[in-house]
Amino acid sequence: MAFQTLNLDVVESILSHIAPLEALPLMTTCRALHVPATRRFLSAVEICWDGYLECHDHAQFCDYMLADPQPRAQCLRELTLSLILEPDISHPSGMPLQDRLAEIVRHATALRKIFLLTANDTFTQSCPALVDAIAEAKSLKVIHFLHVDLSGIALLSRMKSQLVSVTCKMDRGAATTVTQVQKPMRFLRNFVECLTKVTLNEALDVLIADANPKGVWPRVQELVLGDGEIRPEHWRPVCRAFPNIRTLRVRAASVDVTGAHAEWPKLDLVQTRSPLPLQCHVRNVKVDDGNDEEPLPGNNHDAAQYFEMLRRVSPVTLTYYHDRKLHAESIANVAL
C-alpha cells in the first residue's frame, strides 16, 4: 500500500508516537507528510528567554506563526514559557516578542496545556498582554505554575478555562506573603466544578487561608502534596477540601499531623515518603519518594510508624523501598 493512500487520521495517529521535534525532518523531506508533520511539529512549543540569540530565534518563530495564524496557531496543543531574562527584542513591526506571543495564544484555540516556569512579578509586569491572553484562553485543560508568587495566584483567579489539572509550586517565602493579603485571592475557586487533579508545592498555607471554611473541590480524584512540611493545621482542611480523592501522593519531607486523622472513606493508591494518619482502607500503598536525587526518608522514621499505618489501612498490595531496594525483611515484619 502506498503511503499516500493512507487516511490522514491514520498518518496523524502514527506521528503522535514521535516527539514534536522529530517531525521536523519529515516536514522538510517528504511532501506527502509535510502537512501532518507540520501539525505535529507545532503541537508542543517551548519559549525560554535566557539569552539574546535565543530570543531572536523565538522572534523568527513568532513571525512564522503570525504569517498565517489561523492554521498554524491552531496546531498548538502545549506551550512552555520560561522567563529567565526580561525579553527586550526589537522588531520592524514595533511589536515586542511577548505581545506577538500573546497574539499566538489568542489564535491557539486548541491549546490544552501551559507550563509557566516563572509566574511572578517579573513575568506579569513585563508581559501584561501575554498574561491577559492566558487568562482569557478558554481551551486550556492543564496548567503548571512553577515559582508562583502573589501575581501568579492573581492570574489563576482570572482564568476563564475549565481546568482539569493544576500544578502550583510557590516560591519559598512567597506563601507567607500571600497569606497576609486581606482580600480573598480565590485560589483555585474558578475550577471548583472541573478540577480532577491538584498538585500543590509550598501552597498549603495559601489553600487553607483562602478556602477556609467552605472551599470544596468535589471532583478532584488525585491530590499531590509536595510541601516541605505538613502540619496538623493542614491535614483536616485538606481532607475537607478534597473529600472524594482516590489517589493521594505525599512528597513532603516532614509530616507531623499528631492528633489529626484523614476522613476519606476509601483510597485506591497512597504514595508517601512519611507515615500518614490514615484511618481508611487503602487498596495500594507505595512507600517511596519517587525521587532518586534525594535520599529516601526511611532512615528518618521509626519503622514501627510505617507498620502502624499499614495495619490501619490494610492494603491489598504494598511496595516498600528502602535505599532504592525492596526490603524483604520489613515486608515480612508487616505480615506478622
Q: Which of 44-53, 123-132, 213-222 shows the lowest per-residue confidence on average (mean pLDDT)? A: 44-53
292-306 pLDDT, tens digit per residue, is 444 444 445 567 888
* DSSP-H helix ranges across 159-275: 174-179, 204-211, 232-241
Q: What is the pLDDT of residue 4?
A: 64
Count of CB atoms situated within 10 Å of the CB of 6: 15
What would the pLDDT profile of 230-249 be if each residue is shown by its tens digit? 888 888 888 889 999 999 99
Length of the chain: 336
Contact between residue 231 and residue 258 where contact means Cβ atoms under 8 Å apart: no
* Predicted confidence (pLDDT) per residue in 113-152, tens digit: 999 887 777 777 778 899 999 999 999 999 998 887 877 8
pLDDT reading at 321 higher than 60: yes
Q: Go through 43-74 and write b for each residue having 16 or more CB atoms within 10 A of its CB, e for each that does not.
A: bbbebbbeeeeebeebbebbeebbeeeeebbb
Classify 290 in phi/psi space as left (phi over 0), alpha (psi -120 to 50) or beta.
Answer: left
Single pTM value for the model: 0.82
Q: Cell 487561608 appears where? A: 209
Confidence of residue 38 (pLDDT cuts 50, 70, 90): confident
